Amino acid sequence: MNGFTATQELKVLVDLALISAGESDMETDRISSLHTSCLGFAPLIFDLRESEEQEVNFDDLVKACDPVWKAVETDHSLPLKLVRSEMHFVLL
């Protein structure tokens, strides 16, 4: 294991994507939007994990949702950014 957390790996991926996007403002905005939405929803995307020994229960889900609600309160467009990011990458 490399010691990086999933959010650190996401940042590295975003940095590489921004470098490869070049000067295109549209691509830079798309990558930035994907980064923002992934970080906002990170507790549900990266942190909520089941294993053979332990299942995710309702309390785990509620705990993971709490920081997501706070992120959405801070940036009301966060859900839309996630949907738009997903739509763009599905079309590729």
Residue at 42: amino acid letter:
A
Any domain includes 20: yes
Which residue did the predictor score with more confidence, 25 or 67?
67
Asked if the structure places residue 43 within a domain, the reply is yes
Q: Is residue 24 part of a domain?
A: yes
Q: Does any domain span residue 1? A: no
Residue 86 inside a domain? The answer is: yes
Domain residues for the domain of 29 are 6-91
Rounded CA gap, 31 and 25, in Å? 10
Specify if 37 maps to a domain: yes
pTM, whole model, 2 decimals? 0.68
Per-residue model confidence as pLDDT tens digits over 54-87: 899 999 999 999 999 999 999 999 988 888 877 6
Residue 70 belongs to some domain of the structure: yes
Does residue 39 belong to any structural domain of this protein? yes
Structural domain count, the chain: 1
- In the chain, the percentage of residues whose pLDDT exceeds 70 is 87
Task: Dump pLDDT digits (tens) for 27-63.
Answer: 778 888 888 888 888 888 888 888 888 899 999 999 9
